[in-house]
Amino acid sequence: MDRFDVIVVGAGHAGCEAALAAARMGFRTVVFTITLDNVALMPCNPSVGGPGKAHLVREIDALGGEMGRSTDYAYMHIRMLNTRKGPAVQALRAQTDRKLYSWRMRQVLEREPNVYLREGCVEEILVRGGAVEGVVLESGERVTARAVIVATGTYMRSLIHMGEVHYEAGPQSQRTTHGLSRSLEKLGFRLARFKTGTPPRANSRSVDYSRMTPLEGEPLVQGFSFRGKLAPKRQVPCWLTYTTRETQAIMQANLHRTALYSGAIVGIGPRYCPSLESKIVQFPDRDSHQVYVEPEGWDTQEVYLSGLSTSLPADVQVELVRTIPGLENVELMRLAYAIEYDCLGPHQLWKTLESRSINGLYFAGQINGSSGYEEAAAQGLIAGINCALKLKGEPPFILGRDEAYIGVLIDDLVTKTISEPYRMMTSLAEYRLLLRQDNADRRLSVYGRNLGLLTDDEYDTIQRKWEAVDKEIEALRSWRITPSERVNGILREMGSVPLQHVVSGEELLRRPEMSYSRLAALGWTSGVDEGLEQIVETEIKYAGYIQKQQREVERFRKLEAKRLPEWLNYGEIEGLSREAREKLTAVRPESVGQASRIAGVSPADISVLLIYLEQKRRGRGGGAGRMKDGGQG
Same domain, 444 and 533: no
Q: Give the end of a domain, one of 506, 526, 548.
A: 548
Give pLDDT tens digits for 111-165: 999 999 999 999 999 999 999 999 999 999 999 999 999 999 999 999 999 999 9
Residue 366 falls inside a structural domain? yes
Residue type, position 273, single letter: C
Residue 266 falls inside a structural domain? yes
Residue type, position 553, single letter: V
Residue type, position 482, single letter: T
CA separation (Å) from 301 to 60, 91, 206, 239?
32, 28, 10, 15
Mean pLDDT of 168-177: 89
CA separation (Å) from 583 to 576, 578, 588?
11, 9, 8
Same domain, 334 and 240: yes
The rounded percent of the chain whose pLDDT value lies above 70 is 97
Task: Quote the CA–CA distance of 479 and 474 in Å, as a whole number.
Answer: 9
Same domain, 381 and 295: no
Residue 216 falls inside a structural domain? yes
Query: Rg of the chain over CA atoms, in angstroms?
Result: 26
Q: What share of the chain is helix, strand, coil (3-state, %, to 5)?
A: 40, 20, 40
Question: In sequence order, what are the residues at sequence separation of 6 or more whose Cβ sits closer than 8 angstroms to the Cβ of residue 249?
Answer: none
Confidence of residue 1 (pLDDT cuts 50, 70, 90): low
Task: Quote the CA–CA distance of 633 and 626 in Å, as a whole number.
Answer: 10
Mean pLDDT of 400-416: 95
Residue 628 falls inside a structural domain? no
Determine if the pTM surpasses 0.85: yes
**Cα 518 from chain centre:** 36
Q: Which residues pair with 370 in a beta bridge?
A: 422
Question: In sequence order, what are the residues at sequence separation of 6 or more whose Cβ sits closer than 8 angstroms to the Cβ of residue 556?
Answer: 401, 402, 430, 431, 593
Give pLDDT tens digits for 16-43: 999 999 999 999 999 999 999 999 999 9
DSSP state of 26: T
Q: How confident is the model at residue 623, as a pLDDT? A: 41
Task: Tally the domains of the chain.
Answer: 4
pLDDT at 624 over 70: no
Same domain, 358 and 286: no
Mean pLDDT of 567-573: 88
Same domain, 127 and 38: yes
Mapped to the 3 state alphabet, what secondary structure does 291-322 carry?
EEEEECCCCCCEEEEECCCCCCCHHHHHHHHC
* Burial (CB count within 10 angstroms: exposed 0-12, middle 13-18, buried 19+), residue 534: middle
Which CATH number does the domain housing residue 569 bear? 1.10.150.570
CA-nearest of 58, 81, 62 to 71 is 58
Question: In sequence order, what are the residues at sequence separation of 6 or more whose Cβ sits closer than 8 angstroms to the Cβ of residue 140?
Answer: none
Same domain, 441 and 578: no
Same domain, 522 and 612: no
Q: How confident is the model at residue 617, as a pLDDT? A: 76
Q: How confident is the model at residue 99, as a pLDDT? A: 97
Same domain, 216 and 68: no
Q: Give the end of a domain, one of 286, 316, 338.
A: 338
Q: How confident is the model at residue 625, as a pLDDT? A: 39
Neighbour count for residue 425 (Cβ, 10 Å): 17
The domain in which residue 112 lies consists of: 3-195+340-450
Task: Quote the CA–CA distance of 52 and 45 in Å, as a whole number.
Answer: 17
Contact yes or no for 260/338 (Cβ under 8 A): yes
Which CATH number does the domain housing residue 317 bear? 2.40.30.260
Which CATH number does the domain housing residue 132 bear? 3.50.50.60
pLDDT at 270 over 80: no
Mean pLDDT of 562-581: 88
Give pLDDT tens digits for 56-73: 999 999 999 999 999 999
Q: How confident is the model at residue 631, as a pLDDT? A: 33
pLDDT at 622 over 60: no
pLDDT at 633 over 90: no
What is the length of the chain? Answer: 633
The rounded percent of the chain whose pLDDT value lies above 90 is 79
Which CATH number does the domain housing residue 493 bear? 1.10.10.1800
pLDDT at 630 over 70: no
Mean pLDDT of 96-119: 97
- How is 44-85 classified by DSSP, letter by letter? S--EEE-TTHHHHHHHHHHTT-SHHHHHHHHEEEEEEE-TTS
Mean pLDDT of 280-292: 91
Task: Quote the CA–CA distance of 565 and 536 in Å, as a whole number.
Answer: 44
Residue 566 falls inside a structural domain? yes
Greatest Cα pair distance in the chain: 86
CA separation (Å) from 449 to 59, 176, 407?
13, 38, 18
Task: Quote the CA–CA distance of 378 and 43 in Å, as a whole number.
Answer: 18
Contact yes or no for 487/524 (Cβ under 8 A): no
Same domain, 132 and 21: yes
CA-nearest of 78, 179, 203 to 125 is 179
DSSP state of 231: P
Q: Give the end of a domain, one of 320, 338, 356.
A: 338
Give pLDDT tens digits for 516-534: 889 999 999 888 887 799 9
pLDDT at 376 over 80: yes
Residue 457 falls inside a structural domain? no
Residue 12 falls inside a structural domain? yes
Residue 323 falls inside a structural domain? yes
Same domain, 100 and 190: yes
Same domain, 33 and 56: yes
**Cα 111 from chain centre:** 26
- How is 152-220 classified by DSSP, letter by letter? -TT-BT-EEEETTEEEE--GGG---BSHHHHHHHHTTPPEEEEEEEE--EEEGGG--GGGSEEE-----
Task: Quote the CA–CA distance of 551 and 558 in Å, as a whole number.
Answer: 11
Q: How confident is the model at residue 620, as a pLDDT? A: 53
Same domain, 179 and 210: no
Give pLDDT tens digits for 196-244: 989 999 999 999 999 999 999 999 999 999 999 999 999 999 999 999 9
Confidence of residue 628 (pLDDT cuts 50, 70, 90): very low
pLDDT at 595 over 80: yes
